[in-house]
Amino acid sequence: MPNVLISDFDGTITEKDFYQLLVERYIPRDAPDYLGLYRMGKMSHFEAMAKYFSHAPTDEASLQQLITDTRPDPRFVESVSKLKAAGWELIIVSAGSSWYIDRILKKVGVNVPVHANPGRIVPRRGLVIERPFDSPFYNEQTGISKRDVVLEALRRGAKVYYAGDGSPDIDPAMLVRPERRFARRYLAEYLGRCREGFNEFETWSEIVDELLR
């Protein structure tokens, strides 16, 4: 039975969410609270992300700076190597965009499957994301259904572990056994409130240390 770690990206592998950096640096303070509107059911998560990403700068230097400032776990590369050497599969799932995820992974030389919304930088339009209609995991709300990625791994008989930090991680995390859930921030608070079991983590590499112990 293969061991599979399915992991969120923003705020889980990185310290900061890409959209959050845009809010801090590029989005006018009087702009609508898009995620708030999403929580009230007034827009989909995908639409909220598309709004935030439309404020992304389009010059290479600013984009590079943003990518650096997401601060991926400093032990990410080493941890992925150890995980792979031990026969584990790692799958990244994100309701953000593969535009920056792929760039970050390429920069550090990590090659793993990523399920996220494709995107491209367009002058005056920022980071334009597209719905991944071709993906077997397509979902209207988030673009990619993390839940369906977890279900697919469970169906093929894998031992599935899940790591995340946000609200789109609740459903997929609930599909795996409590001892196979890793959570921080919003997801940890939520699971705690619901009296659901999970392992709390500070940095992504700690999860790998724990899994390979």
Residues that bind Mg ion (CB under 5 A): 8, 10-11, 165-166
Q: CB of 12: closest distance to Mg ion in angstroms?
A: 5
Q: CB of 45: closest distance to Mg ion in angstroms?
A: 12
| 33: helix, strand or coil | coil
Q: CB of 165: closest distance to Mg ion in angstroms?
A: 4
- Kindly tell me which of 26 and 186 has the beta carbon lying closer to Mg ion: 186
Tokens 């400032």, residue?
69
Taking CB positions, which residue lies at the least distance from Mg ion?
11
- Kindly tell me which of 8 and 148 has the beta carbon lying closer to Mg ion: 8
Which of 6, 162, 10 lies closest to 71, judged by CA?
10
Structure tokens at 175: 């599909």
Contact residues for 148 (Cβ-Cβ < 8 A; gap 6+): 136, 137, 139
Q: CB of 186: closest distance to Mg ion in angstroms?
A: 8
With beta carbons less than 8 A apart as the criterion, state whether 150 and 172 touch: yes
Question: Is the sign of the CA dihedral 143, 159, 199, 192 positive or negative?
Answer: positive
Question: Is the sign of the CA dihedral 180, 151, 15, 190 positive or negative?
Answer: negative
- Kindly tell me which of 13 and 160 has the beta carbon lying closer to Mg ion: 13
- Kindly tell me which of 75 and 185 has the beta carbon lying closer to Mg ion: 185
Q: CB of 17: closest distance to Mg ion in angstroms?
A: 6
Strand partners for 6: 91, 162
Instruction: Label the pairing between strands 138-139 and 126-129.
Output: unpaired
- Kindly tell me which of 10 and 148 has the beta carbon lying closer to Mg ion: 10
